[in-house]
């Protein structure tokens, strides 16, 4: 980040990123980069904007699939599910920390807005 000086950071769903989410969020803050993260867990470590699948919806789908299997259903008969509901979470404190003002229209579109610190 320090070497290439990007304008923003988009963190992928790659598992290694999730394991190092605290470091990634801290580096984004230190280098004053607006960043978008894929999972809600990044909010707890100061992620500024999280846009990803609705965890509760995914959990319901998973529970239904497990129930089908436990009832004797064939796992191969369970259709592949792609998320259809996404959530937008904005942490205003993280935005302020890097000197960024979030547009009102984006705040209104968010599912949740917080001003909490990690």
Query: What does the pLDDT read at residue 41?
Result: 87
pLDDT of residue 115: 86
Number of Cβ atoms within 10 Å of the Cβ of 74 = 8
- For the chain, which domains are there? 9-54+86-114 (3.40.50.2300)
* pLDDT tens, position by position, 23-38: 999 999 999 999 999 9
**Higher pLDDT residue, 89 or 116?**
89
The predicted pLDDT at position 117 comes to: 64
Residue 108 has pLDDT above 70, yes or no: yes
Average pLDDT value for residue range 12-32: 90
Taken in order 13, 47, 28, 108, the sign of the CA dihedral is positive
Look over the chain and give the mean of its residue pLDDT values, rounded to a whole number. Answer: 91
């Amino acid at each position: 980040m320090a070497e290439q000086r990007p304008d923003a950071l988009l963190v992928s769903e790659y598992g290694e990123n999730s394991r190092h989410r605290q470091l990634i969020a801290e580096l984004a803050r230190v280098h004053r980069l607006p960043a978008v993260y894929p999972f809600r867990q990044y909010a707890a470590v100061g992620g500024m904007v999280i846009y990803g699948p609705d965890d509760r919806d995914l959990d319901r789908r998973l529970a239904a699939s497990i129930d089908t299997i436990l009832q004797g259903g064939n796992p191969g008969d369970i259709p592949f599910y792609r998320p259809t509901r996404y959530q937008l979470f904005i942490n205003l404190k993280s935005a302020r920390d890097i000197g960024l003002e979030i547009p009102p229209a984006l705040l209104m579109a968010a599912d949740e807005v917080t001003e909490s610190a990690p």
